[in-house]
């Protein structure tokens, strides 16, 4: 199918966040043209025809957001265990309820998450959760890109299962891939971490994990190993093929040097870190040191929503507060984190920018709403005043999955809502 999106403001994210007026052509799942407007006469003279032509009415087309850290099935636990610090939240509420969830439950709850991702302009997710086969199945069926990250810890799964997942979920279809990782230092033995490092070397895989999310986590790791989590992972040669860490609120200067050495990505999760009172990551310091920063929502239990607009505002807002500097972490840098940098750390090199030959993962930002007017600075508006209500269209691989409040994912949203409520009614009592 050939699609034409014309009369648009385009933000390719190829270099600086600079808008221009023009159009985009899509052939099947890839972008075939990005550039200035082409007249109908020129198109006719070239003998080109389109199956779909859409007037964007001056709205913004840009790459879809990449949620670089999430736990999709945790939609079921939204507002179930609020107002607790991280470890109490996990040990007394989340872990016990998760033990009751079946693989089918996780599939159904992921379908709810996908609906929410689409309304936020999220076209790909970096998901860490149990039963990744079912999470991947839900994402693929509904058309969103899934990148899994292993959640292994001392309670399971075993290394053979991790290896099976790595082999089977890296499908090479553009919609399902898998990267090695583990839950966190505090839920793994040193021996298990060494085994994961060896598996990463075997498959030349990056490694990702929750890292230095709280001061308690870092202090207790130093007590156990006389090293921070990052230094422990470095001692085990964990990052020989790259990777990164989720949260990274409390990296030391030596930790930062390790991140620089291996070109690791910090995936910041400001909404979750704020709600759990974990702290504020020093984003300006990471950027000043040349460290790549991507953005994740974390799970919809600790956040409690899958909203990239809120995360983007919190990235810049909390950085300004942390540094006491109103100029810290400007919007164009935040948009790069939410698109290009997320794609990089997720191994989605073909989904990072709106460029000829790249996959057509495109979102349309509705400017014809009060929060986007006047158009003094559209890029700033997206980060500082944008919201999910401004997502007019979400396209993945040339397919429009969400447009003007309606879903095109092959399933009735009301059925998904009903099933999610049924699952939680069964388990939370």
Tell me: the pLDDT tens digits for 311-322?
A: 999 999 999 999
Asked whether residue 103 carries a pLDDT value surpassing 70, the answer given is yes
pLDDT of residue 343: 98
pLDDT of residue 87: 83
Rounded to an integer, the average pLDDT of 191-205 is 97
Tell me: the pLDDT tens digits for 384-409?
A: 999 999 999 999 999 999 999 999 99
Q: Tell me what percent of the residues of the chain surpass a pLDDT of 90.
A: 92
Is residue 396 packed enough to be buried (19+ CB in 10 Å), middle (13-18) or exposed (0-12)? buried
Structural domain harbouring 183: 1-349+356-429
Distance CA 299, CA 302 (A): 6
Q: Are 73 and 104 in contact (CB under 8 A)?
A: no
**CATH code assigned at 37:** 3.20.20.140
Give the number of other CB atoms < 10 A from CB of residue 354: 21
For residue 84, what pLDDT band results from cuts at 50, 70 and 90? confident
Q: Are 169 and 181 in contact (CB under 8 A)?
A: no
For residue 86, what pLDDT band results from cuts at 50, 70 and 90? confident
Q: Tell me the pTM.
A: 0.97
Tell me: the pLDDT tens digits for 45-73?
A: 988 999 999 999 999 999 999 999 999 99
**Strand pairing of 243-247 and 207-211?**
parallel
Asked whether residue 416 carries a pLDDT value surpassing 80, the answer given is yes
Radius of gyration (C-alpha) of the chain in whole angstroms: 21
- Cis ω on the peptide bond leading into residue 157 (within 30° of 0)? yes
For 92, what's the count of Cα atoms within 13 Å in the CB-facing half-sphere? 9
Tell me: the pLDDT tens digits for 111-147?
A: 999 999 999 999 999 999 999 999 999 999 999 999 9
Please spell the DSSP secondary structure of 1-25, one letter per residue: -EEEEEEEEE---SSS---EEEEEE
Distance CA 421, CA 414 (A): 11
Tell me: the pLDDT tens digits for 147-169?
A: 999 999 999 999 999 999 999 99
Distance CA 370, CA 33 (A): 31
Tell me: the pLDDT tens digits for 228-263?
A: 999 999 999 999 999 999 999 999 999 999 999 999
Rounded to an integer, the average pLDDT of 353-370 is 98
Asked whether residue 225 carries a pLDDT value surpassing 80, the answer given is yes
Tell me: the pLDDT tens digits for 273-313?
A: 999 999 999 999 999 999 999 999 999 988 999 999 999 99
pLDDT of residue 229: 98
Q: Tell me what percent of the residues of the chain surpass a pLDDT of 70.
A: 100
pLDDT of residue 12: 98
**Dihedral sign, Cα of residue 42, residue 44, residue 47, residue 53:** positive
Two structure tokens written together for 88: 């109490």
Distance CA 115, CA 185 (A): 32
For residue 411, what pLDDT band results from cuts at 50, 70 and 90? very high
Domain count of the fold of the chain = 1
Q: Identify the CA nearest to 124 among candidates 293, 255, 306, 291.
A: 306
pLDDT of residue 250: 98
Q: Torsion angle, CA of 283/285/289/290, rounded to 10 degrees?
A: 20
The SS3 call for residue 368 is coil
Asked whether residue 429 carries a pLDDT value surpassing 80, the answer given is no
Strand partners, 396: 399
Q: What is the number of helices (H) and of strands (E) in the chain?
A: 17, 17
Rounded to an integer, the average pLDDT of 413-427 is 95
Distance CA 117, CA 307 (A): 7
Kindly report the three-state secondary structure assignment for every residue of 238-283.
CCCCCEEEEECCCCCHHHHHHHHHCCCEEEECHHHHHHCCCCCCCH
Distance CA 230, CA 245 (A): 9
**Strand pairing of 52-55 and 20-27?**
unpaired
Tell me: the pLDDT tens digits for 320-360?
A: 999 999 999 999 999 999 999 999 999 999 999 999 999 99
């Amino acid at each position: 199918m050939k699609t034409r999106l014309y009369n648009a403001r385009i933000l390719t994210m190829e270099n600086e966040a600079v808008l221009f007026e023009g159009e985009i052509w899509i052939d099947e799942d890839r972008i075939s043209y990005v550039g200035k407007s082409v007249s109908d006469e020129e198109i006719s003279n070239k003998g080109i025809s389109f199956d779909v032509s859409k007037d964007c009415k001056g709205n913004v087309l840009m790459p879809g957001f990449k949620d670089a850290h999430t736990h999709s099935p945790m939609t079921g636990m939204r507002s179930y265990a609020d107002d607790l610090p991280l470890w109490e939240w996990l040990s007394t509420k989340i872990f016990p309820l998760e033990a009751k969830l079946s693989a089918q439950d996780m599939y159904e709850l992921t379908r709810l998450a996908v609906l929410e991702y689409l309304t936020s302009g999220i076209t790909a997710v970096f998901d860490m959760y149990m039963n990744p086969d079912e999470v991947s199945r839900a994402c693929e069926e509904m058309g969103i890109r899934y990148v899994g990250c292993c959640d292994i810890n001392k309670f399971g799964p075993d290394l053979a299962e991790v290896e099976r997942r790595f082999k089977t979920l890296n499908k090479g279809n553009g919609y399902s891939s898998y990267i090695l990782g583990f839950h966190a230092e505090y839920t793994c033995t040193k021996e298990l971490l060494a085994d994961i490092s060896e598996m990463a070397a075997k498959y030349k895989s990056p490694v990702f994990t929750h890292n230095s999310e709280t001061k308690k986590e870092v202090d207790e790791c130093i007590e156990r190993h006389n090293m921070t989590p990052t230094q422990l992972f470095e001692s085990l040669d964990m990052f020989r093929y790259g990777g990164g860490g989720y949260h990274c609120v409390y990296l030391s200067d030596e930790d930062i040097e390790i991140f620089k050495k291996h070109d690791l990505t910090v995936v910041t999760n400001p909404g979750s870190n704020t709600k759990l009172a974990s702290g504020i990551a020093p984003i300006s310091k990471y950027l000043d040191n040349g460290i790549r920063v991507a953005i994740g929502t974390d799970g919809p239990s600790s956040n409690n929503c899958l909203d990239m607009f809120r995360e983007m505002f919190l990235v810049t807002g909390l950085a300004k507060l942390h540094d006491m500097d109103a100029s810290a972490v400007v919007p164009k840098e935040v948009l790069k984190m939410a698109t290009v940098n997320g794609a990089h750390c997720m191994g989605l090199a073909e989904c990072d920018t709106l460029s000829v030959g790249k996959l057509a993962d495109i979102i349309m930002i509705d400017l014809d709403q009060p929060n986007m007017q006047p158009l003094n600075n559209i890029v700033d508006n997206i980060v500082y005043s944008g919201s999910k209500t401004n997502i007019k269209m979400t396209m993945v691989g040339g397919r429009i999955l969400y447009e003007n409040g309606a879903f095109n994912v092959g399933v009735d949203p009301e059925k998904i809502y009903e099933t999610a409520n049924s699952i939680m009614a069964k388990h939370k009592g």
